[in-house]
């Protein structure tokens, strides 16, 4: 089995959420890619603080809504 190349812990979430709030779309896109790859490779279960989960879900929903409106 290969070692995991990308992973994050609950302590990283504050930084990830801050990066997602960036005005630069390229930063948002790269952070979302890292989160995606970390989640599909992860051996670890992360239990997020409910407040962080709400903020993260709101951001993801706004990105999805913006993408749907752009097409």
Specify the residue for token string 């890292």.
34
| Position 26 in a domain | yes
Residue 6 tokens, joined: 């990308």
Tally of structural domains, the chain: 1
Note the pLDDT of residue 50: 84
Mean pLDDT of 45-63: 80
Q: Residue 44: pLDDT band by 50, 70, 90 thresholds?
A: low
Q: Taking a C-beta distance cutoff of 8 angstroms, is the pair 48, 13 a contact? A: yes
| Tokens at 60, concatenated | 């993801």
Report yes or no on 57 lying in a domain: yes
Mean pLDDT over each residue of the chain, to the nearest integer: 77
The model's pLDDT over 11-39, given as tens digits with 9 standing for 90+, comes to 788 888 888 888 888 888 888 887 777 76
Q: Is 4 within a domain? A: no
Domain that holds residue 17: 10-70
Q: Is residue 2 part of a domain?
A: no
Q: What are phi and psi of 45, to 5 degrees?
A: -100, 130
pLDDT of residue 13: 80
What pLDDT was estimated at residue 46? 67
**Can you give the pTM of this predicted structure?**
0.57
- The reply to whether 1 falls in a domain is no
Does a structural domain hold residue 5?
no
């Amino acid at each position: 089995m290969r070692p995991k190349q990308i992973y994050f812990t609950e302590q990283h979430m504050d930084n990830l959420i801050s990066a997602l709030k960036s005005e630069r779309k390229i930063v948002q896109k790269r952070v979302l890619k890292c989160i995606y790859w970390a989640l599909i490779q992860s051996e670890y279960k992360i239990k997020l603080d409910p407040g962080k989960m709400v903020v993260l879900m709101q951001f993801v929903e706004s990105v999805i809504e913006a993408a749907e409106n752009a097409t």
